[in-house]
Chain A
Amino acid sequence: MSLSIVQSIPLITLAGPPNSGKTTLFNFLSGQNYKTVNYPGATVEYSISCFQTKFGLTANLLDSPGIVSLTPSSPDEKISIESLYAHPHLGTPDLIIATVDASQLSRHLLLARQLIESKFNVIIAITMADLLKKRGHELLVDELKKALGCEIVVVDGRTGSGIDILIAAIEKNIKTDHLKPEPLPYCCNLEIDRLIHSYNEIEIIERRVLREIPSNGDGAANLIKANKQLKILNQPETKSIKSHLPDKTTLNIDRYLLHRYWGLFFFFMIMAATFTSIFWLAAPFMNWIDALFGYLADLSLAAFGFSWFGDLIANGIISGAGSVLVFVPQILILFLILGLLEDTGYLARGAMLIDNPLSKIGLNGKSFVPMLSGFACAIPAILAARTIPNRRERLLTIFIIPLMSCSARLPVYALLIAFLIPADKPWLGGVSLAAIYIFSIVSSITIAGIANKLKNRIVKEEDNSSFILELPAYRKPQLKVVLINTYHSAKIYLKKAGPIILGFSIILWLLTYFPNVDPKIDTNNLSETEIIQLKNAERLSNSYAADLGKFIQPVMTPIGMDWRVGVSLIAAFAAREVFVSSLALIFKVTSDNETLQNSLLEAMHGAEIESTGKKLFTTSTIIGLIIFFVFALQCISTIAVSKKETGGWRIPILQLIAFTGTAYVLTFITVHGLRFLGVQ
């Protein structure tokens, strides 16, 4: 057991239900300087940090995932709860700070009381007392202390008020010489009765500790409250317990945003705005990054002369790093917008609105955000699928995410569409691109439906499909917290995808550079740049990559293509957009960057299949290639992340075979179907 690890400094764990202000408090205490780590072997995430130095406390601070109670409802919750008892690395917490939202006292006291009953060492941090006041109630802290028998502090993680009292309470608590807590497992044969009983007790406490703030000295309400009778188990009462009403403003906004018909309309408007801003706002930054890395590559080529070493630095490492970083702007903007939407409280409502259609294909309302993220990049999307509690639905969501048209496909589509449409009708390009997106959405829904039908073969888990989600009160988002979370998401992307993409692009560089390092070419009448580009092209056509391409020629012939396309498709496994630059290399396109696309298009128009002399790129093969890119899983980092997040090779291998296989078959059908119809 890893419990034997001796921890020299105390472990303080924050625990609380979702939306209880737990993470806000964590951010305040840690100074937003934290690490996000997975529980070993699991997809449950936790953040670990130390207290800010200004608090003068030496202790580990752990932010545990939000839970409603100590009885797990899903495998992931089980891990979260087990780790609350005994963290695999950090052991049992010396102290738990349980966050309780004052405006939802009865719901949030459930977990706090379970923690106390299980003999944890607990301090309760009451949050959102201001919200309670706005609703006309105040909390009698001393009464609650008496009722629960533990220290209680009212804090505000946004403004920091009450934090000094909390710190003092923690200090006093951990300095007190008591035995290390040995919490008892919380389980019960009569779970349901115990829950109802627990709530009844909490209601009694609630009546005692909540006082209506008298308006103009009218305190009569208290008396009525105090006279309320004790409720008997499972018996309806003649009069309901006075629970506070939900936030008025929230109810008014929801009248529109959750309207039966308009709700979906607003939802699609908000999602369309999110979606377009991912592309529009990120585009200039992506171009800068692209240009910067191009410039750096040129610099290093010039610095190291045109040796193999310089080439490795420029085309292996620098452009590899560039193809990782180029997606960072999109990921930042995506997480910024999603973070803002989540912090305002809208994202939970979006999940509610879309739950019914998604449940028809075996998904969940909570699958929506990961799927939307998939349009930027599959890697953060697969990571976002962690928020789906049901394991079956989560695996199915991860399964179809690679079908979302990620932005790495965009440069490929741009090139292929440019080949198809006449130069005098540029508007057709936009229409075609929109058509490709719609086609990919429809196909992914179809495939999800099919996968759901074959569910027991693809996703073996059985799990009760459920959608129970709190719709938090609308509030102003905290930009600072959202920005920090955005930064962390980008960091996770770089950590997960970075080494894989970089490593693979170096391997690809090796394959395309060796063995013919210094090819002989006819250098008459050629400028220096042209000589270099010709050499590059010559080197590639004699490289290991070309050998590999020729090896897979028999696979490419049936779909009307040859080894050159095959090599580019293999190269695209590093990142899909590499397809374009690889084609340019193979077709020996020699010109400066600004007209690269035009020269490449020209070369493509002229290209012939070597053995038959027929045109290689025709309308039918180009459409075939587009179909191939819609379906094929051509991304080594997606496979790696999918393996990590699904906990095995089953799903990623299934994805690779199913999607790339579908891509190949559909490309075959498209190319030959079109030719049969007379489209060359």
Chain B
Amino acid sequence: MRSASELKFGEKVIIYSLDGNHPSCRRILEFGFTPGQEIELVSKSAFNDPLAFAVRGTLIAIRKNEAECIKVA
């Protein structure tokens, strides 16, 4: 299964699950990345890290290793 860190620009996907072992998992959830939500990769910083996603009406930037804990369908 792919993770959100592997998305292409402008790609819209639905979150399948989150890796509960990742230390940032809870915080990512709190920011609105919940299973079933649609997210879109809207920008990548230079060096491809961090990544900015559109989620629940706003943009959230997270590091690539944190995006890896978001599994997408």
Binds B, one of A117-125, A233-241, A335-343: A233-241
Residues of A contacting B59 in the complex (Cβ-Cβ under 8 angstroms): 246, 250, 254, 470-473
B42→A251 contact, CB < 8 A: yes
| Binary CB contact string for chain A from 184 to 227 against chain B (1 if under 8 A, 0 otherwise) | 00000001100110011000000000000000000000000000
Binds B, one of A149-157, A259-267, A312-320, A431-439: A259-267
A residues contacting the other copy or chain, number (CB 8 A)? 57
| Cα separation A471 to B42 with both chains bound (whole Å) | 11
Contact of B23 among A466, A467, A469 (CB under 8 A): A466
| Cα separation A173 to B56 with both chains bound (whole Å) | 32
In the assembled complex, the CB of B49 is this many whole angstroms from the nearest CB of chain A, namely 5
Contact of A471 among B18, B32, B58 (CB under 8 A): B58
> Which residues of A pack against B, CB within 8 Å?
68-69, 71, 73, 103-107, 110, 135, 191-192, 195-196, 199-200, 231, 233-237, 240-241, 243-246, 250-251, 254-255, 258-261, 263-264, 348-349, 352-353, 355-357, 359, 365, 464, 466-473
> Which residues of B pack against A, CB within 8 Å?
14-18, 20, 23-32, 34-38, 42-50, 52, 54-63, 66, 73
With A243-B37, A467-B50, A470-B58 already in contact, 15 other A-B pairs whose C-beta atoms are closer than 8 Å: A69-B30, A71-B26, A107-B32, A107-B56, A192-B20, A195-B26, A199-B29, A236-B35, A355-B50, A356-B47, A466-B23, A467-B61, A467-B62, A467-B66, A469-B61
Task: Give 23 CB contacts A-B under 8 Å.
Answer: A192-B25, A236-B14, A240-B37, A240-B38, A241-B36, A241-B37, A245-B57, A246-B58, A254-B52, A254-B59, A349-B61, A352-B61, A355-B45, A355-B61, A356-B46, A356-B50, A359-B63, A365-B50, A467-B50, A468-B27, A468-B61, A470-B59, A471-B58
In the assembled complex, the CB of B14 is this many whole angstroms from the nearest CB of chain A, namely 5
In the assembled complex, the CB of B62 is this many whole angstroms from the nearest CB of chain A, namely 5
Q: A234-B17, A254-B42, A466-B66 are in contact. Are A68 and B26 (CB under 8 A)?
A: no
A356→B57 contact, CB < 8 A: no
B56→A353 contact, CB < 8 A: no
| Cα separation A240 to B42 with both chains bound (whole Å) | 18
A473→B29 contact, CB < 8 A: no
Residues of A contacting B23 in the complex (Cβ-Cβ under 8 angstroms): 464, 466
Q: A240-B14, A263-B46 are in contact. Are A470 and B54 (CB under 8 A)?
A: no
In the assembled complex, the CB of A361 is this many whole angstroms from the nearest CB of chain B, namely 14
Interface of B is mostly: mixed
B29→A355 contact, CB < 8 A: no
| Cα separation A278 to B15 with both chains bound (whole Å) | 45
Residues of B contacting A264 in the complex (Cβ-Cβ under 8 angstroms): 46
Residues of A contacting B54 in the complex (Cβ-Cβ under 8 angstroms): 245-246, 251
In the assembled complex, the CB of B63 is this many whole angstroms from the nearest CB of chain A, namely 5
A237→B30 contact, CB < 8 A: no
In the assembled complex, the CB of B18 is this many whole angstroms from the nearest CB of chain A, namely 8
Question: Which residue of A has the minimal Cβ distance to B20?
Answer: A192
Contact of B46 among A106, A260, A473 (CB under 8 A): A260
| Cα separation A510 to B47 with both chains bound (whole Å) | 55
| Cα separation A250 to B42 with both chains bound (whole Å) | 11
Q: A110-B30, A464-B23 are in contact. Are A472 and B36 (CB under 8 A)?
A: no
Residues of A contacting B47 in the complex (Cβ-Cβ under 8 angstroms): 356-357
B16→A236 contact, CB < 8 A: yes
Contact of B24 among A260, A464, A471 (CB under 8 A): A464
A468→B60 contact, CB < 8 A: yes
Question: Which residue of A has the minimal Cβ distance to B61?
Answer: A352
Residues of B contacting A240 in the complex (Cβ-Cβ under 8 angstroms): 14, 36-38
Question: Which residue of A has the minimal Cβ distance to B62?
Answer: A468
Contact of A353 among B16, B31, B45, B48 (CB under 8 A): B45
Residues of A contacting B56 in the complex (Cβ-Cβ under 8 angstroms): 104, 106-107, 243
B61→A254 contact, CB < 8 A: no
Residues of B contacting A263 in the complex (Cβ-Cβ under 8 angstroms): 43, 45-46
Residues of A contacting B49 in the complex (Cβ-Cβ under 8 angstroms): 355-356
The 7 closest A-B pairs by CB, nearest first: A240-B38, A258-B43, A471-B59, A464-B23, A352-B61, A356-B47, A244-B57
A199→B34 contact, CB < 8 A: yes
Residues of B contacting A244 in the complex (Cβ-Cβ under 8 angstroms): 57
In the assembled complex, the CB of B68 is this many whole angstroms from the nearest CB of chain A, namely 13
